[in-house]
Amino acid sequence: MSPRHDVTEKLVALAGGRAEAWDELMPVVYDELKQLAHRHMARERPGHTLGTTALVHEAYLKLVDGARVEWRDRAHFFALASRAMRHILIDYARTRNREKRGGGLAAVPLDDASSIAVDDIEDLIALDDALRKLEAVNERQCRVVEYRFFGAMSVKETAEALGISEASVKRDWSITRAWLNQELGGSALDTGMPS
């Protein structure tokens, strides 16, 4: 059975209420995304985007038979992929960060093989830390950020995946945005340490 077929089936099952399908799907989606990300990063010059949108959509086209899934399944897939993407990006950022520490700051130039600028690495790690905090107090808001930021999901898709209203998503997003800006250390121009 082809992975595409398999993923599509499981996605339909997930939408049908079989929650364990989520855990079965996660490794497949994760692996696929990781492969794609690897390829992407190897080919991209340092760019203006984290490239997450492209990767998640590419994974979707590759893994899911769009003709056979509902709009809702699609949102579920993106939700899964967003979370997988978070792990991949953060793993990557932490690895790079360790390299950077090991090699000394000056020795690490912008890496041609990376789609993430050096500046972003610290921010990404800070974001991950902040999200862990957030998850402990309000899991839903954490998901909203994951889906919107790592998966580039629209308000509507996020609402669909979480089973809440679009207004709630907007509200959560506006709150967490302000909160995360504060957590990550204020103005982008400000080079001070995170508080």
Partner 1 sequence: MNPERLQQVQDLFVAASELPVADRSRFLDEQCGSDHELRRDVEGLLESLDETGRFDRLALQVPKLAEEQAVAPLPPGTRIGAYRLVDEIGHGGMGSVYLAERADGQFEQRAALKLLRRDLDTEDARRRFLAERQILARVSHPNIARLLDGGVTPDARPYFVMEHVEGVAIDVYCDEHLLAISERLRLFRTVCSAVHYAHRHLIVHRDLKPSNVLVTADGTVKLVDFGIAKLLDAESLDSSVPQTQTGLRMMTPEYASPEQVRGDPVTTASDVYQLGVLLFELLTGHRPYRLRRRSLLEMERVITETDPERPSTAIDRADADESIDAPLRVTPELVSRARGTTIEKLRRRLSGDLDNIVLMAMRREPERRYESAQQLAEDVRRHQEAVPVIARPDTVGYLASRFIRRHKLGVATTAAGVLTAIGFAVVMGVQAERTARERDRAEQVTAFLVDLFESADPGNTLGDTLTVREVVDRGAERVRLELGDQPGLQATMMSVLGGVYRGLGLASRAETLKVAALDIRERTLGPSHPEVALSLTDLALLRTDRTEFEGIETDLRRAIGILRKAGREYRNELGRSLYALGYLLQATGKHDSAVVALAEALEIYRREPGAAHSYMATVLMNLGWIQENQGDLDSAETYFREALAIRREHLAPEHPWIAGSLTSLATVMRRKGEVAEAEALVREAVTLQQRLFPTGHRDLAGSILTLANITADQGRHRESDSLFQAALLSYADLYGDDAPDLARVRNDLAGRLSDRGEFARAEPLLRKALPVYRTVLGDEHPFTAMVTGNLARALYGLSQEEEAERLWREAIRVLRGANIDQMMAVPYMEDLGSLLMDRAHYEEAEHLLRDALDILRPGLPDTRWRTIELQRTLGVCLTKQRRFEESETLLLEGYTALRSEWGIEHEWTQATLQRLIDLYEDWGRVDEVAQYRSLIRDRPSPE
Q: Please identify which residue in 65, 111, 128, 135 interacts with partner 1, judged by CB under 8 A.
A: 65
Q: Please identify which residue in 9, 13, 57, 97 interacts with partner 1, judged by CB under 8 A.
A: 57
Stretch that binds partner 1, among 12-20, 23-31, 50-58, 92-100 (CB under 8 A): 50-58
What is the DSSP secondary structure assignment for residue 105, as one 8-state letter? T
Long-range contact set of residues 29-36: C-beta below 8 Å, sequence gap at least 24:
29/59, 29/63, 29/77, 29/80, 29/81, 29/84, 30/84, 30/87, 30/88, 32/3, 32/59, 32/62, 32/63, 33/59, 33/81, 33/84, 33/85, 33/88, 34/84, 34/88, 36/62
Q: What is the dihedral of CA 192, 111, 44, 78, to 10 degrees?
A: -50
Stretch that binds partner 1, among 12-20, 90-98, 99-107, 148-156 (CB under 8 A): 148-156
For residue 6, state whether it binds partner 1 (rule: CB under 8 A).
no
For residue 19, state whether it binds partner 1 (rule: CB under 8 A).
no
Stretch that binds partner 1, among 18-26, 27-35, 46-54, 100-108 (CB under 8 A): 46-54
Long-range contact set of residues 15-23: C-beta below 8 Å, sequence gap at least 24:
15/69, 15/70, 15/72, 15/73, 15/76, 22/80
Residues 97-136 that bind partner 1 (CB under 8 A): 120, 123-124, 126-127
Specify the 3-state DSSP secondary structure of 2.
Answer: coil
Stretch that binds partner 1, among 13-21, 25-33, 52-60, 97-105 (CB under 8 A): 52-60
Look up residue 64 and give its amino acid: V
Q: Please identify which residue in 67, 105, 107, 193 interacts with partner 1, judged by CB under 8 A.
A: 67
Q: How many residues bind partner 1 (CB under 8 A)?
A: 47
Which residue, 21 or 169, is less far from partner 1 as judged by CB?
169
For residue 1, state whether it binds partner 1 (rule: CB under 8 A).
no
For residue 165, state whether it binds partner 1 (rule: CB under 8 A).
no
With a CB cutoff of 8 Å and minimum separation 6, the contacts of 77 are 7, 11, 29, 60, 63, 64, 69
- Which positions touch partner 1 (CB under 8 A)? 40, 43, 45, 47-55, 57-58, 61, 65-67, 71, 120, 123-124, 126-127, 137-138, 148-149, 152, 154, 156, 171, 174-175, 177-189
